Structure 1
Amino acid sequence: MYVFSFEKLDVWKESIDFSKSIYLLTSNFPEAEKYGLTSQLRRATVSICSNIAEGTSRFSSKDKAHFISMSFSSTMEVLNQLILAFELKFITEEEYSIARSQIESISNKLNSLRKHILNS
């Protein structure tokens, strides 16, 4: 099977795992949040890995870096939503801490990738 360039990126792999963990985490959210915070968190998390994948298909470094920036922005959106979920007591302190650590790792890798793209 052919492996596309984005599939080789550690940050993409990590963001896929993060998306799966957010899907599991939000499955315990109140039913009233199905079309609210649950949906928003899931869509924003999927946007992280999707923008990485889409960005690698672009031809110019500027375009590639733009999509990595969008991925970073989605990562910050997820962090904001997780803060809200924690404050609303939809997630425990441990769940919040684990997710926040994952976000820190992903955001650091995205920043490094963006710098690498712009410098190449």
Structure 2
Amino acid sequence: MEFKFEKLIIWQKAMDLGEEIHVLSKDFPKEELYSLTSQIRRAADSIALNIAEGSIGQTNPEQGRFIGYALRSLAEVVTCLHKAKRRKYIEESLFEKLYSECFNLMNMIIGYKKAIK
């Protein structure tokens, strides 16, 4: 038995990204625990949470709204990654890898949003 959203590749990718961000942020300085660390984790988790919430028994406009929230959370993650890079918490190569994953996920989410209209 599965929920509808568990079959969605965008949800699966968002779940993977959330776990990658969680592991990455463990290495942020302790002084960032209640700021950047918390922010990037909440934003990353919010992507999959909003995809799931938007897929359950919603009308198309409601689905679109939750998918929009997922996109906004993804933009927040990207901004936090830029902050982490500027503060030298992550190397350029890791930033590029995660940035690319975020960009690909964004395109997939936009495609999904267009498909449910």
- TM-score where L is the length of structure 1: 0.95
In structure 1, what is the equivalent of residue 109 of structure 2?
Answer: 110
In structure 2, what is the equivalent of residue 33 of structure 1?
Answer: 32
Q: Match for 1:103: what amino acid? A: C
The sequence identity of aligned pairs, in percent, is 35
Deviations 1:80-113 (A, max 9, x none): 1110110110111011011101101110011000
Could you list the structure 1 runs, at least 4 aligned residues long, displaced by more than 6 angstroms after superposition: none
Please report how far the alpha carbon of residue 58 of structure 1 lies from its aligned counterpart in structure 2 after TM superposition. Answer: 3.7
Distance (whole Å) between structure 2 residues aligned to residue 78 and residue 5 of structure 1? 25
Extract unaligned runs of 5+ from structure 1.
Answer: none
Deviations 1:25-46 (A, max 9, x none): 0000001101110000000000
| 1:38-117 alignment, distance < 5 Å | 38-117=37-116
Cα RMSD between the aligned structures? 0.7
Distance (whole Å) between structure 1 residues aligned to residue 29 and residue 93 of structure 2? 19
In structure 2, what is the equivalent of residue 5 of structure 1?
Answer: 4
* SS of the residue 1:24 aligns to: helix
Tell me the number of residue pairs that the alignment of Structure 1 and Structure 2 aligns: 117
| 1:13-24 alignment, distance < 5 Å | 13-24=12-23
Extract unaligned runs of 5+ from structure 2.
Answer: none
